[in-house]
Amino acid sequence: MDKGRLLDIFRHMMLIRRFEEAVYDFHEQKLFGGHYHLYIGQEATGAAVMASLRGEDRIFSTHRNHGHLIARGVDPKNALAEILNRADGTNGGRGGTFHLADASAGMPHTSALVGGSVPLAAGAGFAAKLQKSGGIGVSMFGDGCFEEGVVFETLNLARMWALPVIFVCENNTPGAVLKSAGGNNTSNLPEGRVIQIPEALGMECHEVDGGDAEAVDSLFADCATRVRETGQPIFIEALTERWPGNYFSFPSRVTGITQVSMAWDGSSIAGEYEDWFRNHDPVLRFARQLLDRGVANSGDVAGIDVEVTETIEAAKEFALSSPVPGTDSVYAHVLAGEG
Amino acid sequence: MAVMTHAEALVEAIRECMDEDPNVALVWGSLMGVGGNNEHVDHIKADFADRIFHPPISEAAIAAVATGAAMDGVRTIFPMGTASFMFRAWDQIIHEAGAAHYMSNGAVSIPVVFHVVHGLRGGGSVQHSQSPQSMLWNAPGIEIAMPSCPADAKGLMRTAIKSNNPTVFIDHQKLNKRSSEVPDGSYDIPFGVADIKREGGDVTIVAASLQVVHALEAAETLSTGGIEVEIVDLRSLVPLDEEAILASVGKTGRLLVVDEAPPLCSVASEVIATVAEKGMDLLKTPPVRVNRLPVHVPANVVLEDYVGPNTDRIIEAAKLLCH
């Protein structure tokens, strides 16, 4: 057991949680417009996956990308500035919440089209194979992507061409509780499960509890090593209990601001979302694991929270003071070699 | 006359047609886009449950399934949501729906409606802001409707559903909640008949969809400065009411075309080319197009507004044309 590694994963999860809470506030304050998506509830998967990736690897995310960038180590200042569409944003303010990307962090482009990023990640695997870079492509995507034909085409191609890619499907379709409360499925299959599709193509497939950071870490680390050795693609289905705030068309912070003390003091846990706090919230789950295993004590956990909260406060200030890009900037970079 | 929103008028047309014709089916997508515009569709859902199909996120397959069903006379309305998403089904719309009648030597017809919501919606960024009208116009065999107000939305949707051709019905997110008077009862508005939304003798503005709203706002301001604008609302691009455009240009001698697609090979390009070919002598001065700038749509709403055609840019262009 590598205590430092586990604490690092937890720190990233906590950072994502505080980041997304800040994004929610910004939207409530109408500091950015339009539709948006939060990664709350899926932190364990993103943070654990990134723990095994290297500089030469390429990661492609989706409309629900914030957590992936933060876990990869992109500075929350620039990520938050991008969500506010400011000049210091990761994309210079022109991408916005749907398209956060950072080529310098190995995340060159984020498609908001359902399934759009999946073949791009296979493309990164193709390039790595051709250039013998030792890197791999990683596609982070939701279960809804299986409704798009291009995802099947990509899985088939990755097998046929033996591309070093890991497909990480973060399945956040609601459990029975949310369905009865009116939540929509995020993917529709007449029967069976999405994992059977890559299985039918003979791809190595795994499923894991996406809310269990340590389980995701140990599986993904093993898979990353094997993909680097064999060059063959692997599919992972991370089963995630969807955050109750994510089953409306816009996020709703129904579970409030996360109190990490719930990890060691259950006395304040009650009400409609008790089950979420006790059994599903991945940040609280991992904090409890760290405490139970003696990796950290409650003071350590609270200390990490204080530290990341300060980071996010500074990032908020930075983002809010970053300028709106000048109107002339709209002409830059339509074609390479210009602007 | 009742006052209703654009979205309500559209739903009214769909409800009437589903009532009149048991062959009309609806794919239950985001008919009015995201953002809480779907409350009007609840009664359709209840009344016609056996003719409504809940879609997976599979634009290409659904477009072709609707096309295949159309070959046997099922008239499917397929709301594809943001117009950007229809690129996923480009093959099926252009090569199957748009071509089957021609390829069958007229034996097969494709009565299907693809409903999309185009344009700058406020923070849609690059992949949720497309205006595909001119790309579609470049493809033979597809009718294109672009209403600007609730009354037209209703009459044009009825025509789209009854048409034996594939129709792309292009709405705008920013029109959904606008309301105005809609005539009582059922009525169809034929395609290819433009509507003069405002009469004036100094300059003709040709527009469709949300840009008609912008042109009407611009016309108010311009009128106070002594410039009287005539607004030709195309309502459909295919077929195009060339006569109405030429008649208005004949009256004013000046032409301004406003269009949300980028300028190259745009709706504005085509309207101006038509006038150049058929009415060059009517023009007192070179025509002008006001388009979205030839760039992608940035997420920042300040920049989004800057790249889009808007009331200020229309006013500025009209003044230049008239002086």
Q: How near does any CA of chain B get to the CA of A237, in Å?
A: 19
Q: What is the pLDDT of residues B179-198, one digit of tens each?
A: 999 999 999 999 999 999 99
Structure tokens at B99: 């071509």
ipTM field: 0.85
Q: Band of the pLDDT at A338, cuts 50, 70, 90?
A: low
Mutation choice for A interface testing from B28, B34, B53, B57 by most A CBs within 10 A: B57
CB contact under 8 A, A331 and B295: yes
The residue written with tokens 């709301």 in the block is B79
Chain segment B156-171, per-residue pLDDT in tens: 999 999 999 999 999 9
Q: Do A93 and B299 touch (CB under 8 A)?
A: yes
Average of pLDDT values for A238-260? 90
pLDDT tens-place string over residues A38-57: 999 999 999 999 999 999 99
CB atoms within 10 A of CB A262: 18
Contacts of residue B128 in chain A, CB cutoff 8 Å? 34-35, 98, 112
Is some CB atom of chain B closer than 8 A to the CB atom of A187? Answer: yes
Q: Is A306 on the interface with B (CB under 8 A)?
A: no
SS3 annotation, chain B: CEEEEHHHHHHHHHHHHHHHCCCEEEECCCCCCCCCCHHHHHHHHHHCHHHEECCCCCHHHHHHHHHHHHCCCCEEEEEEEEHHHHHHHHHHHHHHHCCHHHHCCCCCCCCEEEEEEECCCCCCCHHHCCCCHHHHHCCCCCEEECCCCHHHHHHHHHHHHHCCCCEEEEEECCCCCCEEEECCCCCCCCCCCCEEEECCCCEEEEECCHHHHHHHHHHHHHHHCCCCEEEEECCEEECCCHHHHHHHHHHHCCEEEEECCCCCCCHHHHHHHHHHHHHHHHCCCCCEEEECCCCCCCCCHHHHHHHCCCHHHHHHHHHHHHC
User: Residue B31: what pLDDT?
Assistant: 63
B-facing residues of A in 253-272 (CB < 8 A) are none
The sign of the torsion formed by the CA atoms of A11, A16, A21, A26 equals positive
Give catalytic residues of B, as residue numbers: 59, 128
- Which whole-number Å values give the CA distances from A33 to A7, A38, B261, B299, in the listed order? 35, 14, 22, 9
> Closest to B306 (Cβ–Cβ): which among A35, A148, A330?
A330
Report CA torsion sign: A139, A140, A146, A148.
negative
Average pLDDT, chain B: 94
Could you give the CA distance from residue A170 to residue A209 in angstroms, rounded to a whole number?
Answer: 10
* C-alpha angle B28-B29-B30 in degrees, rounded to nearest 5: 130
SS (H, E, C) B243-312: HHHHHHHHHHCCEEEEECCCCCCCHHHHHHHHHHHHHHHHCCCCCEEEECCCCCCCCCHHHHHHHCCCHH
Distance CA A198, CA A204 (A): 8
Sheet of B288-291, strand order: B195-198, B229-233, B203-207, B255-259, B288-291
In chain A, residues with a C-beta closer than 8 Å to the C-beta of B56 are 147, 187-188
* Cross-chain residue pair A94–B303, CB shorter than 8 Å: yes
Q: Do A148 and B34 touch (CB under 8 A)?
A: no
Query: A171: helix, coil or strand?
Result: strand
Residues 148-167 on A with a CB inside 8 Å of B are 148-149
Tell me the angle at which helices B311-322 and B210-224 cross, rounded to the nearest 10 degrees: 50
- B299–A98: do the CB atoms touch at under 8 Å? yes
DSSP summary character for residue A192: S
Model confidence, pTM: 0.91
Q: Which of A31, A100, A113 to mutate to test the interface with B (most CBs of B within 10 A)?
A: A113
Residue A126 to chain B, least CA–CA distance (Å): 23
Q: Which of B56, B123, B307 sits opposite A96 (nearest CB)?
A: B123
Q: What pLDDT band is residue A185 in, cutting at 50, 70 and 90?
A: low
Kindly list the residues from chain A whose CB atom is less than 8 angstroms away from the CB atom of residue B61.
149
| Section A80-93 average pLDDT | 97
* Mean pLDDT of all residues in B200-229: 98
Identify the CA nearest to B293 among candidates A313, A334, A93, A14.
A334
pLDDT of residue A177: 46
pLDDT average, residue stretch B236-265: 98
Query: Do the chains contact at A144 and B295, CB–CB below 8 Å?
Result: no
* Proportion of chain B above pLDDT 70, given as a percent: 96
Minimum Cα–Cα distance from B82: chain A residue: A113
The pLDDT mean for chain A works out to: 93
Residue type, A68: H
Q: What is the pLDDT of residue B35?
A: 42
The answer to which of A140-144, B52-56, B124-128, B281-285 has the lowest mean pLDDT is: B52-56
What residues contact A116, with CB distance under 8 A and at least 6 apart?
A62, A150, B127
B contact test, residue of A32, A327, A333, A338 with most B CBs within 10 A: A327
Give the integer Cα–Cα distance in Å for A252 and A28.
10
Tell me the chain A residues in contact with residue B60 when contact means C-beta distances shorter than 8 Å.
149
